[in-house]
Chains A and B, each alone.
Chain A
Amino acid sequence: MKNFEQYNVEDFVLNKDFQDWVQGNSRNGDFWLAFVQQHPELSETIRLAELVIRAMQVQPNAVSDKIIREDINRFMNRAQAVSVETDQRTHYLKNWGNSLAYRAAAVISLLGLLFTAVWFYNSPKVANLSSPLSSYILPLASPAALAETVNSTNRPLRLVLSDNSLVILSPNSSLKYAPHFTTTERRVYLTGEAQFNVVKKTIPFKVYAGGLVTQVLGTSFVVRAYEQDAKATVQVRSGRVSVYKMNPISAQDETVPSNLDATAIILTPNQMAVYERADSRLLKSITAEPIVLQPEAIEFDFTETPLPAVLRQLERAYGIHFQFDEEALQGCQITASLSNETMYEKLTILCKLVGGSYEVVDGQVIIHAGNCR
């Protein structure tokens, strides 16, 4: 294995890291810049290697977002099975529409939240009842279509799904769902806001809303994804949920940073996911009003208690991780009664008492020490 000092042109060109740097995809830019400066004798070799890589490009034949969208639409429509059934009690919907609430240049939304959605299945398989796909089709092979409940009143609307999960739909919100969930998945589509109390089952429950998918086994959480909002949020009351973006990162948009988190985030109680639609960022934060998870066990009256102990108590109470310098804060003594304040109020008071500050980062609270000695 050669080291870089012995590289010739071919070696540099074939080195993936080097290629990434020349093509502007690198996270290691500093390394190569420094290397070039430290090895002036290699500068010509490197320059030639760079030129070779630059020569190996092709005209991009850009295909516009619009065309991609059209083609994907065309695919979805053709993949769709068939007929529409109407029923007096619920409103069955047919067409898959494309609702583009976001900037077209950034993310292409595949989920028609505003319009209708369909339940797809493969028509040749309908005839073949022994196929593993039959779980998708109701036993009598009628096409499974989605029901929709719209709350156009100004009070919350309760509805119960086929697995007994409870949904409390906020005003100006709507939920689309299969009248009978399949044995592989429980899926709903939300526009607006709703609180979910999901019955625990081995089948995952997924909420599609505003470009996010929230997946749970059974728990209590609130999803907020109004069309007109710039953000969608998921707040967890109990249990654990995983939240991920519905779309992959936009391959066409060069302003999208390359270190986007592409994996799901797990939320625990009192945590919140915030999805900034415009730049497709998914962040973890803390809910607006964290609740004490086990009220009976916790005391908030302190007398000359060192701050670290107070913070540990808060951690236990809210189930949120606090980060702080134990040693630095050991000398800060707290005498206060904090039972009636919200978590944020408690933090503000504590920070004032010790001349410090706090910030919420990635679903945790970080305390910056003051000078209380």
Chain B
Amino acid sequence: MKQRIPPPQAQQLWQDYRTGDIYALANLMQAYYTDLYNWGLRFCDESEIVRDCLQELFLTLWQKQATIGEVDDVAAYLFKTVKNHLLMEFRKKSFLHTLGLTDEHYSLEVEFSADFRQVEEEHETYRLRQLEQLLNQLPDRQREIIYLRFYQNLDFDQIAEIMQIGKQPVYNLLHKAIKHLREYALLTLSWALLGWNSFFAAFFAD
């Protein structure tokens, strides 16, 4: 169950931090730690590196305390900054940097792992596994948006800021992904009804 601090409280803590209240910053760190840690792991699967990155992030924020401005949304800002930091680290170390590739090219480690509680019927379990598989085959950008929306529970504005694209493109990409899932799922349903279950499963496993 994902419960974050309400936006007005987060904004207030941000204001307090800007006036020099380190406890406010520490409060923000505590409130968002688990989510930012999980988010960090999408870009780098080493726990130590992600933790170090969070340290550096908050220390930098503290250093910039007097000069940093307002932010529209504290959560979106933090998520975006974590992503940028980790990608920068990753690029420095990787070959991509020397190739001068832009930040369009990064790989997102998101593996969807369905929530099987409250799903008892076998055909539904089967369906759920299929959806899981389909999700994991989607393009990176779509998976990123799905992760931010359905795992991190962020809204479209926040996602748009984190991904540095417009709100409408976010919506469209998400809509496209879900439509794709729906079409395949219903397709399976009709195959299943025709008794082509196992055939389809094998086909799908490719």
Contact = CB atoms under 8 A, between A and B. Distances in A.
Interface in A119-140: 120-122, 124-125, 131-133, 136
B22 A251 contact: no
Contact of B29 (A51, A75, A254): A75
Interface residues of A, number: 59
Contact of B128 (A8, A14, A54): A54
A1 interface: no
Contacts, number: 168
A122 B155 contact: no
B30 interface: yes
Interface string A24-36: 1100000000000
Interface string A51-67: 11111111111110001
Interface stretch (A85-93, A241-249, A329-337, A338-346): A241-249
Given A25-B2, A54-B114, A58-B111, A248 B132 contact: no
A52 B55 contact: no
A67 B22 CA distance: 20
B92 interface: no
A184 B31 CA distance: 25
B63 A248 contact: no
B178 A13 contact: yes
B26 interface: yes
- Which of A52, A110, A122, A132 has the most chain B CB within a 10 Å cutoff? A52
A248 B178 CA distance: 34
Contacts of A373: none
Given A78-B55, A110-B27, A184-B20, A10 B175 contact: yes
B174 interface: yes
B44 interface: no
B20 A136 contact: yes
B27 A247 contact: yes
Nearest to B26: A110
Interface in B33-75: 33-35, 37-38, 41, 51, 54-55, 58-59, 62-63, 65-66
Closest 4 CB pairs of A and B: A55-B131, A56-B150, A248-B5, A55-B114
